[in-house]
Amino acid sequence: MIFFIAILITVGVIAFFHYIQGFFSATISAVLSAVSALLALSFYEPAVKLLLGGKFANFAHGMMLLMMFAVFYMLLRTVFDKLVPGNVRVPALVDKIGGAAMGVVAGIFAAGIVAVATQAFPFMPDVAGYTKYAVATENRDVTAPAVGKHSYALTLP
């Protein structure tokens, strides 16, 4: 539940920021966030293998995904801000509603990348109150079937 609320807050903050920026800038940002998400999801695994070679195995995939998304987005956004220095004038209502709508799109892509990266990190089964499956917390003794003369017991945490 907490994870879902954090994702909703992230989308809301990004949508509000784009609401202030306007429709044209928010549209560029939404397209660039989609392209950045596509590039980051395409290239983060080969980049982990190439750059890290198995080091930081627990955190490498999530951190590389976040880093690549941020680098691709900032690079593309900087290039487009230099190419298109001004904003396009549209009616105020279209500017605000369109900016918020495109901000939600950009926020969904950014929050999706954060969610995928969070699932790649070595957290406990319940990430901020969210579990994919029901998690049993009781301790149980598991006994392997007897093979030959010996029987093995395993205590689970």
- What is the tens place of the pLDDT at every residue in 67-117? 999 999 999 999 998 998 777 888 889 999 999 999 999 999 999 999 999
Split into its structural domains, the chain has a count of: 1
Domain that holds residue 150: 2-155
Q: How confident is the model at residue 7 (pLDDT cuts 50, 70, 90)?
A: very high
Distance CA 127, CA 95 (A): 37
What is the pLDDT at residue 124? 66
Residue 50's pLDDT is what? 84
Residue 64 has pLDDT above 70, yes or no: yes
Q: What is the pLDDT of residue 54?
A: 66
pLDDT of 19 higher than 90: yes
Q: Which of 34, 35, 42 is nearest to 65 (CA)?
A: 42
CA distance linking residue 87 with residue 69, whole number of Å: 25
Confidence (pLDDT) at 72: 96
Instruction: Scan for tokens 């940002």, then name that residue.
Output: 29
80's CB contacts (< 8 A; 6+ apart) are 28, 32
Report the C-alpha gap between 117 and 63 in whole angstroms: 7
